[in-house]
A and B are shown apart, each in its own frame.
Chain A
């Protein structure tokens, strides 16, 4: 299959059919910040930090580059006033959960995000789903899952599975962009709950 030609930040980029804009950018050395993305996992599109501006058929849209498929003659901008504003607000929203996350603080510096913009939230978890998806897609154990929805959404270990699988694995801990303490804490809670019941 012939290559697809597109433009990212003014640079002509060759990509293969089926690649995402993020893939194409990475393969030609163009940096797009990400948070919930992991090369071993299916693209998720949850954090929206990788949002870029695309121009296609005369229309400008804001899309998650980790999911948007490359197309012929697509014009992509990875930075613009709007993109920077989007990333700044997203980081501020996440800092309300994890004000000490090194990864978030580094991005905050780049985009001018203030750590105290929004009211603090008691959970460190930013619900990027890396632990949940890693456990499901790579380990195929589903020991940790999302529960509830909207702002009430949280991660929870399934005690019956976690008690068997987690102590010898813990591969999800280093994936956590905020601090693996959250995962450890929730895991312990899950196991204690299991014991007590």
Chain B
């Protein structure tokens, strides 16, 4: 493939790809998320074998895509061009699907999703309640593309936002657009990305960096890998645009060493992007040079913390350092370094492509756009969902998530895993909103949502979070290392109903000191789940003091 040197060439390449594709050629899109593809190899092979057997080679495509989101009903397949959706597909179903649906154009009834509430059949994704209430501006691309094929991404308009940014806009204009769209960081803090970009842009230095944080180490959070593995070019495109706006010529992708399939897709995507001239020198003939390097973590949670991550890229141990000077001013090798997470970068191409005004039409007053959420815990439809900000938690848990299994009652909705907070069932009408939820003590964090039913012990759950943090804290500073050690001791005896008088007060004191005096964001937020559960479920802690008997 020759490199593309102008917007006109890009458009021509795109048209050629679309023309070459026969829209009526059947294609079986199989979901292949990061955690589950391993078990799905046999499904893919079964379809390939069956196509061969029925002598349909070259007439039917099999497309292994990223995550479709409906993990509870997986493996999911979508059969194009009719976009027929089958759930819980097994390798032994391949023969029937190909002969009856792909060739015979009839529906295999037993593989169609049935709404458990109404008993209605849903033949297309758009008819399934799980998908109906979502706005899948980002995730919706996943079933349409093979992440290993840049052509698939180009066919749906990929890299046209990059062309627009580089050839029609000045860096300052790109920055203003992102600022105007009020894009807020999806990695946890909800900090306005545009302001961070501006800080890095204005920092006086010749060399600057932009970084994509693809670490995603939070338990129960898997939306970043769903989009990164399923649509790597989207993230790459966002990162290049960010580099242009900030004045960085070098980008880094920081991701996990233990997800080889994700790494493979990123590497393939980077190579294809380089061949096409989307990274390298004089991108699209604009005169802008930019390159991207991939770095892997060393396997600890805290490597996802901004300053630890930057040290890791420098080749040092990923120990956090205090950010008294912002990393956007002094980051990697003391140079301005702008870090955003995968989902934040994924939002950039649509903001540039469709404009900030369009983006401002989605979401709530202070939180714009959509948010990807990974749903897990005591919920019928676990999976990855994407909803506009402002959607109520009730809609997410009941309409999309299908409610609580086994007829149990909802007890709490927990966001942000070990560094997040829990809201009680009474607050189910709360809208998904950075500021509203943060005020209630359950910051959205990266977007991992645990649903907990009435059988959950909040004391035990917090003990579990602390156990996780004990393994993941770097151990450098006293409030975090020793605070976790002692809080874990207290919660361990409380969860056995052997709490002592003064334990709750000690927890409160340790939480306060930890949140004020710890060195990094991990230490400062280890107390968040305990804080929020003491706020809403204090009686459970009181009942765990010895001789009072634990209620749960």
Q: Is A162 an interface residue (CB 8 A)?
A: no
Bound CA span A49–B477, Å: 10
A75 part of interface (Cβ distance < 8 Å): no
B512 contacts chain A at the CB level, 8 A cutoff: yes
* Contact (A93, B509) CB under 8 Å given A62-B517, A63-B322: no
Q: Taking the nearest CB of chain B, how far is it from the CB of A196, in angstroms? A: 28
**Interface presence of A68 (CB below 8 A):** yes
Of the listed stretches B223-231, B243-251, B466-474, name the one at the interface; the rest are far from the partner chain: B466-474
B356 at interface (Cβ–Cβ under 8 A)?
Answer: no
Interface 0/1 of B459-500, CB less than 8 Å to A: 000000000011111111111011111101100000000000
> Nearest Cβ distance between residue A137 and chain B, in whole angstroms?
14
Q: How far is A61 from B477 in the complex, measured between Cα atoms in Å? A: 17
A150 touches B469 (CB 8 A): yes
List A35-81 residues whose CB lies under 8 Å from chain B.
45-49, 51, 62-64, 67-69
Known: A150-B473, A150-B475, A151-B485. A85 touches B513 (CB 8 A): yes
A94 within 8 A of B: yes
- CA–CA, A94 to B486, complex, Å? 11
A89 within 8 A of B: yes
Q: Given the complex, which residues of A lie within 8 Å of B488, measured CB to CB?
A: 151
Q: How far is the CB of A115 from chain B (nearest CB, A)?
A: 14
Pairwise interchain contact B325-A48, C-beta atoms closer than 8 A: no
Contact of B516 with A by CB under 8 A: yes
Distance of A48 Cα from B481 Cα, bound (Å): 12
Within A59-118, the residues touching B (CB, 8 Å) are 62-64, 67-69, 82, 85-86, 89-90, 93-94, 96, 117-118
Provide the bound-state CA to CA distance between A38 and B437, in Å: 43
Q: Is the CB of A121 within 8 A of B485?
A: yes
Given contacts A48-B517, A85-B513, A118-B486, whether A93 and B324 have CB atoms under 8 Å apart is no
Cα(A150)–Cα(B467), bound, Å: 10
Per the CB 8 Å criterion, the residue count for chain A at the interface is 34
**Considering the chains assembled together, what is the distance between the CA atoms of A60 and B28 in angstroms?**
58
Contact of A146 with B by CB under 8 A: yes
Residue picked from A93, A118, A129, A150, most chain B C-beta under 10 Å: A150
Report the minimal beta-carbon distance from B415 to chain A, rounded to whole angstroms.
Answer: 23
Q: Quick check: is B506 within 8 A (CB to CB) of the other chain?
A: yes
Cα–Cα, bound, A148→B470 (Å): 11
CB contacts (< 8 Å) of A67 on chain B: these are 322, 324
Once the chains bind, are B322 and A45 in contact (CB under 8 Å)? yes
B503-524 CB contact bits vs A (8 Å, 1 = yes)?
Answer: 0001001101100111100000
A150 to B484, Cβ gap below 8 A? yes
Closest chain B residue, CB of each to CB of A119:
B489
Cβ contact within 8 Å between B510 and A89: yes
User: By the criterion CB–CB under 8 Å, are B516 and A152 in contact?
Assistant: no
The complex places the Cα of A150 from the Cα of B319 at a distance, in Å, of 11
Interface residues of A (CB under 8 A from B): 45-49, 51, 62-64, 67-69, 82, 85-86, 89-90, 93-94, 96, 117-119, 121, 126-127, 129, 146, 148-153
Given A48-B517, A150-B471, 16 new contacts (CB under 8 A):
A45-B476, A47-B478, A62-B516, A62-B517, A64-B519, A68-B324, A90-B517, A96-B482, A96-B486, A119-B486, A119-B489, A126-B478, A149-B300, A149-B471, A150-B472, A151-B488
Chain B residues close to A by CB (< 8 Å) = 300, 321-322, 324-325, 469-479, 481-486, 488-489, 506, 509-510, 512-513, 516-519
